[in-house]
Amino acid sequence: MNADQLLQGYAVQVAGEMGTNETTSTSQLMEYGKRHFAPEQFLGVYPAGHKVPRTKHRCFYIHNTLAGSGDGHWLATAREPGRPDLGFDSFGRTPGPGWQPQLAGLRMTDSDLNQELDSTRCGQICLGFGHVFLNHGYDVALQC
């Protein structure tokens, strides 16, 4: 099974457990994260621009494209000691001056599209990415 197949499999599992395959809130993502990951593995859900403290272990967190409340898009960042932070966007975009400049410098996953453009299941896919990263490692997650 390749990384994209793993990602989609985990995303389907997440959606089933959450009872939705559509837009998710911060509290829904936090609740799932607390139930399915150890506290040192899942650092939480944050608005854009929030500085998440460094840890000494492999972990991930989810953040929004918006700094405040409102509709945005969920992204994920994975961290492994000794390696660059790994950014994940289910739409395969790369941060730059015009989009999410605060994330510039992250190593990004494969730029393929992991979510249909009219879909709102980015939260479930980000949690699926967390499962891929924690269960299969940095190098496999890099291919998502």
Looking at residue 62, what is its pLDDT?
Answer: 97
End-to-end CA distance of the chain: 12
What pLDDT digit, counting tens, does each position of 13-69 carry? 999 999 999 999 999 999 999 999 999 999 999 998 889 999 999 999 999 998 876
CB 125 within 8 A of CB 3: no
Q: Residue 31 sits in which domain range?
A: 3-141
pLDDT band for position 104 (cuts 50, 70, 90): confident
Given a cut of 80, whether residue 132 has pLDDT beyond it is yes
Reported as a single tens digit per residue, the pLDDT across 70-99 is 678 999 999 999 999 999 999 998 888 887
Looking at residue 28, which CATH number applies to its domain? 3.40.395.10
Cα distance between residue 18 and residue 12, in whole Å? 10
Number of domains in the chain: 1
pTM summary value: 0.95
The residue among 70 and 123 whose pLDDT is bigger is 123
Question: What tokens does 100 get?
Answer: 């999410």
